[in-house]
C-alpha cells in the first residue's frame, strides 16, 4: 500500500543582541511538531560574513532536529516490541 505524507518545515534564522546567529527549525507532521535549535558565533579574529553564520546555525538546527526525529523513530520502534538498535543504521530501514 503506497504511503504519501507532506510535512511542513519552517526555518527561522536571526541574530541576537550579542551577535550570535541563532536558528530554530520546526517540523510539523500534522500529528506532532519537533523543534531543532542551532547557533553560531563569529570568532573575533575572523571576518564577519553573516551568510556563514546563517549556514552554520541553520545546519546545526537541522542536525539537532534530525537527531530528535531519529530518537522519536527509535522510541516508536521500541513501542512496537523491537529492541532499541545499537547503531542508528540498524534501526528499521537502511539509510
Where does the pLDDT of residue 95 fall: very low under 50, low under 70, confident under 90, or very high at 90 and above?
very low
pTM: 0.81
Question: Quick one: pLDDT at residue 81?
Answer: 84
Which domains occur in the chain, in start order? 8-73 (3.30.160.240)
Question: Quick one: pLDDT at residue 88?
Answer: 57
Instruction: Name the residue with cell 556563514.
Output: 52
* φ/ψ of residue 9, rounded to 5: -125, 130
d(CA 31, CA 74): 17
Residue 65 · residue 25 · CB < 8 Å: yes
Instruction: Describe the strand order of the beta sheet including 33-40 as a list of residue ranges.
Output: 8-15, 21-28, 33-40
pLDDT, tens only, 33-90: 999 999 999 888 988 899 999 999 999 999 999 999 999 999 988 888 877 666 655 4
Neighbours of 74 (CB within 10 A): 16
Which of 14-18, 20-24, 52-56 comes out lowest in average pLDDT? Answer: 14-18
Residue 37 · residue 50 · CB < 8 Å: no
Higher pLDDT, 11 or 85: 11
Those residues whose C-beta lies under 8 Å from the C-beta of residue 50, and which sit 6 or more positions away, are 15, 21
Amino acid at each position: 500500500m503506497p504511503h504519501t505524507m507532506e510535512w511542513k518545515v519552517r526555518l527561522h534564522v536571526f541574530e541576537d543582541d550579542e551577535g550570535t546567529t541563532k536558528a530554530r527549525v520546526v517540523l510539523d507532521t500534522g500529528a506532532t511538531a519537533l523543534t531543532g535549535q542551532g547557533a553560531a558565533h563569529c570568532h573575533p579574529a575572523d571576518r564577519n560574513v553573516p551568510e556563514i553564520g546563517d549556514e552554520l546555525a541553520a545546519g546545526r538546527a537541522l542536525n539537532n532536529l534530525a537527531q530528535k526525529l531519529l530518537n522519536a523513530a527509535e522510541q516508536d520502534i521500541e513501542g512496537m516490541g523491537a529492541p532499541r538498535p545499537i547503531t542508528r543504521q540498524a534501526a528499521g530501514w537502511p539509510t
